[in-house]
Amino acid sequence: MRLLTIRLAAVGLLLTLTACGPNSANDEPAAGSSSSASDAFPVSVAHKFGTAEIKSEPKRIVTVGLVEQDALLALGIVPVGTTEWFGEKPGAIWPWAEAALGSAPKPQVMAQTDGVEFEKVAALKPDLILAVYSGLTAEDYAKLSKMAPTVAQPKDQVDYGVGWQELTRTVGAAVGRKAQAEKLVTDTEARIAQVKQDNPAFAGKTGLMATTDEGYWVYGTQDPRGRLLADLGFTLPAGLDEITGKEFGANLSKERTDLLDVDMLVWIVDKYDTDKAKVEADPLYSKLAVKTEGRALYVENNEEVGAATSFISVLSLPYLLDKLVPQMAAAVDGDPSTAVVRAN
């Protein structure tokens, strides 16, 4: 799977967080479990392949999706297993989520390079498997659902296209914490709305996120990255949906390099200096106003800002807004002499 193409204020959003990831299948409910959560069960959560029936409060949660650990941690729950996307962080926990993790043991990490590591998932003896931000196949789901109730990606979203709001609410429903999840969503939406209000220059400007993976790859209206730009007031370029079709993004042909000529362009790259130089040396791209007028900014995916740009989670967003929005404002201010500096 492509690394990028699927590849702090947060603490103020959280309730007091305590660990809730026991070390064995027979452990008592961990600190952080609550009677209100227990009283919420059983619950049913619909998804692409059916409905997950969760009879009691889960104690051993494994995330097969790539970002669900952030939603769980924000809800005060530590999964016993997570799936690596990129960055090789211990437990697949990035710095913006460490405050929520606290002193709890980090989850065991599984790779997803060659698909789901079913044996490792089974060895963790899960009582709930989350694969909301994923590209789970029907065959994958059949195997996982035999181990534990499994919540796959939504049926009305493209694979790897679920928005952070729906993901947070889905995870909250699965663990019996719908009210807490809703507060996380509304608080974060309020923060985004405030940023939009504070940056009226974004309104009516075109914006786009792209990466250099496999040529030029652009993120569309069905991707969390594209949706964030829209939430901030940007308009995604006309014709983008024709390129991406029914996917979260797509490769851009050389004939459509013009689509990159927006008022503000975020490049998500593997190596900041190397990839930036390569993009700006492209004879087609180098002639576009987005380049000549300094409207583009670059983030490296293995640095916190770049990773937060791809995660788009209830925990990464407050950090991302603080770091990235000032550079977006510099890009759209109409003054080519305004430096768009590296955000990291």
pLDDT of residue 109: 98
In this prediction, residue 336 has a pLDDT band, given cuts at 50, 70 and 90, of confident
| Higher local confidence (pLDDT), 8 or 151 | 151
**pLDDT at position 340 over 70:** yes
Q: Comparing 11 with 3, which gets the higher pLDDT?
A: 3
Q: What is the mean pLDDT of the segment spanning 257-276?
A: 96
pLDDT band at 186 (very low <50, low <70, confident <90, very high): very high
Long-range contacts of 200-203 (CB under 8 A, 24+ apart): 200/233, 201/329, 201/332, 201/333, 202/232, 202/233, 202/234, 202/264, 202/328, 202/329, 202/332, 203/233
The model's confidence at residue 33, banded by pLDDT at 50, 70 and 90, is very low
Confidence class for position 303, pLDDT limits 50, 70, 90? very high
Give the mean pLDDT of 160-183. 98
pLDDT of residue 139 exceeding 90: yes
pLDDT of 216 over the 60 cut: yes
Q: What mean pLDDT, rounded, does the chain reach? A: 90
Residue 36: its pLDDT value, please? 54
Q: Strand 296-300 vs strand 264-269: parallel, antiparallel, or unpaired?
A: parallel
- Which residues are within 8 A (CB) of 201 and not within 5 positions of it... i.e. 6 or more apart? 329, 332, 333
The predicted model gives 165-188 an average pLDDT of 98
pLDDT band for position 21 (cuts 50, 70, 90):
very low
